[in-house]
Amino acid sequence: MELTVDARALASAVAWADKFAPTRPVAPICAALHLAATADGTLTLTATDYDTTARATADARVDTPGQAAVSSRTLAAATARLGDGPATLRLDGPRLHISRGTVNYTLITMAAEDYPTAPALPEPLGQVDANAFADAATLAATTTGNPKEAAELAGIQIRLGENLTVSSTDRYRITTRDLAWAPETPSADRSLLAHRAALTAAARGMTGTITIGADTNLLGLSDETRSVTTTLLDNTKLPDLPAFLGRRFDAGAATTATVDTASLIGAIERAAVVTNGLGDILLDITDGTIAVSGGDDDTGSDAIDAHTDGPAVAALYYPDWILQLLKGVGSDTVRLHLPDPYKPTLVTAVGPDGQDADGYRALINPRRATRTVQAAA
């Protein structure tokens, strides 16, 4: 194998593929990246842990087609330091020589013929904007749970219908984000549960338009130069999260508070300084005001204006948990819907017309009182 490739393009492809190489491989060969150079001028890099397989391609001048398998971590470290310009890769027996200008690396290879065969991408179901999908997946990752409690809690649910909805839950919170997408057929309607780590790593590395495909066991994501296939989790153990959240909203709320998103985030962050990440913060909603306080011995507080409707109510939250939901809203204004201090609080983005926007909905369970909670009269 001998080829010439742009060093920056090579480093980018290797760095992304390296994210999928396991740190504790079930087989030694999975610690390697597989490189395949073909006569059509394509270099393909593959990483796999058997459950998830990632492939990245780069244009190259291929003088001698061939394949090699090299330690993923070592290759990523080496290519990241090549700098700009054309890089040459040449396989000489058990060694892969990499050079760019005066920089030279020689890496010991593994048996490329032993590398697992990559599965084919499943049948495409539709396309979605890569940036929007990455943002939704990143948000959903903040409200996934511990797989040691239940494997499905570490999954991100993708609902394919009129919209594409990305959702997750950790049992105490739910987030849902609706995205516009272009289904292959108008009748596309199904729900999938994907591994959090694989989905977020894949989405963050793709650009332009992502094609989504799936079969009974496999999810596929691809753009023009990168693709990922990953096994699906059992989705029967989770409810349809968007529908579940919709039923919560249909039940209504006794009190609502509409407030500037940045102002509420700032007030919570200031009040939470004294909690050291261990305590909770109190949101005390009265007529036209949200008073935020935190701490027991050391205390912090702030108050901001809000448009409120309904009786006064006060509820406790973990500051990090509610901040993650508020930072994912994606709108200048947010609305809190509180049935009472102990039932789940619903969070919506608010559109320019003052109505709840359809794109984002979230739920958070308040904390049970560890200190006296009294709404102002």
Average pLDDT over residues 220-231: 96
E-strand ranges in 74-225 read 86-92, 95-100, 103-110, 124-129, 155-160, 164-169, 173-179, 181-183, 190-195, 209-214, 218-222
- What pLDDT does 277 receive? 67
pLDDT of residue 6 exceeding 70: yes
Closest to 291 measured CA to CA, from 320, 267, 321, 308:
267
Cα 150 to Cα 116, 137, 144, 146, 195: the distances in Å are: 29, 20, 11, 7, 13
In this prediction, what percent of the chain has a pLDDT beyond 70? 96
Tokens 């066991």 found at: 217
Alpha-carbon distance of 220 to 155, in angstroms, equals 15
Domains, the chain, ranges and CATH?
2-114 (3.10.150.10), 124-240 (3.10.150.10), 251-364 (3.10.150.10)
> Mean per-residue pLDDT for 190-208?
93
Asked whether the predicted pLDDT for residue 337 surpasses 80, the reply is yes
pLDDT at position 1 over 90: yes
pLDDT at 295 over 90: no
Region 345-361: mean pLDDT is 87
Q: What is the pLDDT of residues 86-138, one digit of tens each?
A: 999 999 999 999 999 999 999 999 999 999 998 999 999 999 999 999 999 99
* Position 249 pLDDT exceeds 80: no
User: Checking DSSP bridges between strand 173-179 and strand 164-169, what pairing results, if any?
Assistant: antiparallel
Q: Is the pLDDT of residue 373 over 50?
A: no
Buried b (16+ CB within 10 A) or exposed e, 234-261: ebeebbebbeebeebeeeebebbbbbbb
Distance of CA 174 to the CA centre of its chain: 14
pLDDT at position 148 over 90? no
How large is the average pLDDT for residues 65-85? Answer: 96
Which amino acid makes up residue 261?
T
Residues 174, 168 contacting (CB under 8 angstroms): yes
